[in-house]
Amino acid sequence: MTTVTVAVTDTVDIAELARVYRDVHAADLHLADHSDPTVEDRLRWTAEAPGFAATVAHVDGKLAGAVLGCPLPPDTLWWRDIDDPEVAQEWPGRTFAVCEAFVLPEHRRHRLAVPLILGLLESRTEERVSLAVAETNTRVWRALQALGFAHVGDLVPFPGWRPHRMLNCPLPLASRR
């Protein structure tokens, strides 16, 4: 019988996460989005951010997916491409940002992302959650919009990356379980 566990944590193994991330994005590793900055650097920056929190899923003891995030500080660069001050103004406790979300291909469509995301967000006290999804990742951003996330603008997270859609949703999400 398969054993699936999902745990909330503030301690992650960057090398293990990076290995899984590269399997998740194996077909796209040539893109700047997945190589510059390095996956390890990005994961470490997130893991070192004040208030960092994550959920990790294991299937039969092996890491199968994770969602990583942190609260945005008032001087965040997250909104640098967004003109609307109603969206872009940040204050302590306003926004929890999901910086990474991935599940290994062999475990997809088993609803593993659901407990990963809800498990991470259900205890958050922030007013809203925000995440950035590559413009080409239409399935994911359409699914998120169907869940109530609003497209509030676009961002190129790092030079050379594909444009990303910024999607926001009020917290709590609990009613969407």
Ligand X SMILES: CC(C)(COP(=O)(O)OP(=O)(O)OC[C@H]1O[C@@H](n2cnc3c(N)ncnc32)[C@H](O)[C@@H]1OP(=O)(O)O)[C@@H](O)C(=O)NCCC(=O)NCCS
Q: Select the residue interacting with ligand X from 20, 112, 129, 166 (CB under 6 A).
A: 112
* Residue 34 neighbours by CB under 8 Å, 6+ apart: 21, 22, 25, 28
> Closest Cα partner for 159 from 35, 22, 28?
35
Tell how far CA 52 is from the center of its chain. 12
> Does 162 sit near ligand X (CB under 6 A)?
no
CB-wise, 92 or 109, nearer to ligand X?
Answer: 109
By CB under 6 A, residue 166 contacts ligand X? no
- CB-side exposure of 122: number of CA atoms within 13 Å? 13
Partnered with residue 153 across adjacent β-strands are 166
Can residue 113 be called a binding residue for ligand X (CB under 6 A)?
yes
Q: Scanning residues 119 to 158, which ones bind ligand X (CB under 6 A)? A: 131, 133, 137, 139-140, 143
Interface with ligand X includes 99 (CB under 6 A)?
no
Which residues make up the interface to ligand X (CB under 6 A)? 24, 101-103, 108-114, 131, 133, 137, 139-140, 143
